[in-house]
């Protein structure tokens, strides 16, 4: 099994370019099925989740042409077929095929989706929304069978502003008769990215990015074209790394509004950086100050950044806290940081961090995608050697992470 070997302590300088957002791209590929003949998506990141989604598109008889980061998807011979378990369980985003296959064929057979073990992660809001549109949802063993004579537009209120449910119901609503209004919708940039893709196909959608989205069903969508937004979570990961051990580290190709909450928190701890023309230039924050963070839905502090931000707080002087309001068990990596010398204490959804602490390299097992990124950051500032196991989990969401980090002076390599 490949492992990542990191020798900590190198100061990092130079430029890291941000790739297309995993959490947009994994929704855009399934969304392409709404196009009758073809769609084109630019700036698709080369990550494992995309490889698996391409395999699912193949099962559905789509023909994909890849040219660097552009993917052209020919859906003219699209055929409905059950989505096999060995593919759907590879990631949570496979559930977006529910919304699109329901829109196109009014029938979906898909095994339970996978995803990082950071909580129960039910999909009850998706199911409730599909049923509100007129679908029947059955669970047979570990498969969802969803059918509908037809989908009728309606008003759907989401009990929680779920990113996945918002996107999945927008996809299904595009195939419904009449208008659908999604209330308490998630406002994450991924929703705007998918909505702009559907609008390019001819779908009338308003309000994406706000809490109320209005979708007019349309069964003549075609010729979708879009560009994947820059990955705000990847960008936040590398900006935090710059605050830990950078010297004029340039993080290029960001959309500032998408990481505003992270920028505000970095200012809270005293980080010193410049934001200009889609770039952040940041150097090590010598004496970070303790602060308190609460994760929220967008535009609040993103839950996907709390594990990497924890590494910065291990270097802050004083007692910091993180309150995780989105998932019920997303502090596993904080416990692993303790094995490197950090002082964190998890109590329910509250994590307390005492700092500053000196971190020592260790051999550790990556528990989930963003926890893995946190362990990479910790290894890069720790004394000595860190070996991380379960690397495929990290490569799921960070395009060329080894190449990007070695290019700015990090000492890390993949070993067998
Ligand atoms: C997306 O997951 C992201 N994944 C997650 O990123 C991210 O943490 C999350 O949004 C929040 O921003 C992808 O986009 C592929 P949710 P999603 O539906 O859609 C509960 C990463 O590291 N919930 O907003 O699954 C759920 O259990 C990943 O890139 C229900 O209870 O997130 C969770 O506690 C991790 N019922 C909370 O809401 C539902 O029907 C947030 O879920 C749906 C969700």
**Over the stretch 41-64, which tens digit does the pLDDT of each residue have?**
999 999 999 999 999 999 999 999
Cα of 163 from ligand 1 centre, angstroms: 6
**365 Cα: distance to centroid of ligand 1 (angstroms):** 23
Question: Which residues are identified as catalytic?
Answer: 116
Q: Map out the domains of the chain with their CATH numbers.
A: 3-18+232-415 (3.65.10.10), 22-227 (3.65.10.10)
Is the beta carbon of 304 within 6 A of some atom in ligand 1? yes
Q: How far is the CA of 115 from the centre of ligand 1 (A)?
A: 9
Average pLDDT, the chain: 97
> What value does the mean pLDDT take over residues 141-155?
96
pLDDT tens figures, 377-415: 999 999 999 999 999 999 989 999 999 999 999 999 999
The whole-number average pLDDT for the span 338-345 is: 98
Encode pLDDT of 12-31 as tens digits: 999 999 999 999 999 999 99
Share of residues in the chain with pLDDT > 90 (%): 94
Does ligand 1 have an atom closer than 6 angstroms to the CB of 123?
Answer: yes
Torsion of Cα atoms, 311 then 396 then 366 then 329, to 10°: 70
Question: Is the minimum distance from the CB of 23 to ligand 1 under 6 angstroms?
Answer: yes
Indicate the pLDDT class of residue 242, thresholds 50, 70 and 90. Answer: very high
Rg (CA), the chain: 21
Question: What tens digit of pLDDT does each residue of 195-236 get?
Answer: 999 999 999 999 999 999 999 999 999 999 999 999 999 999
Beta bridge partners of 414: 4
Token pair, residue 145, equals 């069978």
User: Beta partners for 214?
Assistant: 181, 206
How far is residue 369's CA from residue 178's CA, in Å, rounded to a whole number? 39
Contacts for 156-159 with beta carbons within 8 Å, 24 or more apart?
Answer: 156/128, 156/129, 156/132, 156/180, 156/181, 156/182, 156/183, 157/183, 157/184, 158/125, 158/129, 158/182, 158/183, 158/184, 158/185, 158/186, 159/125, 159/184
SS3 state at 76: coil
Structure tokens at 65: 């042409």
Ligand 1 centre from 23 Cα, in Å? 10
Sorting pLDDT into bands at 50, 70 and 90, what band is 120? confident
Average pLDDT, integer, range 323-343:
97
pLDDT over threshold 90, residue 119: no
For residues 364-377, one letter each, b for 16 or more C-beta atoms within 10 angstroms of the residue's C-beta and e for the rest, the string is: bebbbbbbbbbbbb
Residue 121 confidence (pLDDT) above 90: no
Q: Is 359 in the pocket of ligand 1 (CB under 6 A)?
A: no
Pocket test for ligand 1, best of 52, 117, 162, 331 (most atoms within 8 A of CB): 162
Residue having the nearest C-alpha atom to atom 10 of ligand 1: 163
**What percentage of the chain reaches a pLDDT higher than 70?**
100
**In this predicted structure, what is the pLDDT of residue 357?**
98
pLDDT for 116? 81
């Amino acid at each position: 099994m490949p492992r990542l070997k990191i020798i900590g302590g190198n100061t990092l300088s130079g430029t890291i370019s941000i790739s297309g957002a995993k959490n947009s791209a994994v929704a855009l590929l399934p969304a392409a099925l709404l196009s009758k003949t073809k769609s084109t998506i630019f700036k698709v990141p080369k990550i494992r989740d995309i490889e698996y989604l391409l395999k699912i598109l193949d099962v559905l008889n789509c023909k994909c042409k890849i040219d660097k980061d552009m993917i052209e998807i020919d859906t003219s011979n699209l055929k409905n077929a059950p989505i096999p378990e060995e593919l759907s369980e590879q990631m949570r985003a496979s559930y977006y095929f529910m919304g699109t296959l329901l829109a196109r064929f009014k029938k979906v057979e898909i095994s339970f989706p996978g995803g990082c073990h950071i909580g129960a992660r039910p999909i009850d809001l998706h199911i409730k929304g599909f049923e509100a549109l007129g679908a029947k949802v059955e669970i047979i063993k570990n498969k969802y069978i969803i059918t509908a004579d037809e989908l009728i537009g309606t008003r759907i209120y989401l009990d929680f502003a779920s990113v996945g449910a918002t996107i999945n119901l927008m996809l299904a609503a595009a195939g419904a008769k009449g208008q659908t209004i999604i209330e308490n919708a998630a406002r994450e940039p991924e929703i705007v990215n998918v909505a702009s893709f559907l609008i390019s196909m001819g779908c009338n959608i308003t309000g994406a990015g706000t809490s109320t989205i209005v979708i007019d069903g349309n069964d003549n969508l075609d010729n979708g074209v879009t560009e994947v937004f820059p990955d705000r979570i990847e960008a936040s990961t590398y900006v935090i790394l710059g605050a830990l051990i950078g010297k004029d580290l340039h993080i290029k190709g960001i959309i500032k509004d998408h990481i505003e909450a992270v920028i505000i928190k970095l200012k809270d701890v005293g980080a010193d950086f410049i934001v200009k023309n889609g770039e952040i230039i940041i150097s090590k924050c010598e004496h970070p100050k303790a602060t308190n963070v609460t994760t929220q839905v967008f535009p609040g502090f993103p839950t996907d950044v709390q594990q990497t931000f924890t590494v910065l707080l291990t270097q802050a002087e004083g007692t910091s806290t993180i309150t995780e309001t989105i998932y019920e068990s997303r502090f596993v990596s904080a416990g692993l940081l303790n094995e490197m010398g950090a002082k964190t204490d998890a109590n329910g959804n509250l994590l307390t961090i005492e700092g500053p602490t000196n971190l020592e390299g260790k051999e550790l097992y990556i528990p989930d995608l963003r926890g893995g990124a946190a362990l990479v950051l910790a290894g890069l500032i720790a004394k000595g050697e860190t070996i991380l196991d379960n690397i495929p989990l990290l490569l799921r969401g960070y395009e060329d992470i080894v190449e990007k980090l070695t290019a700015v002076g990090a000492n890390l390599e993949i070993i067998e």
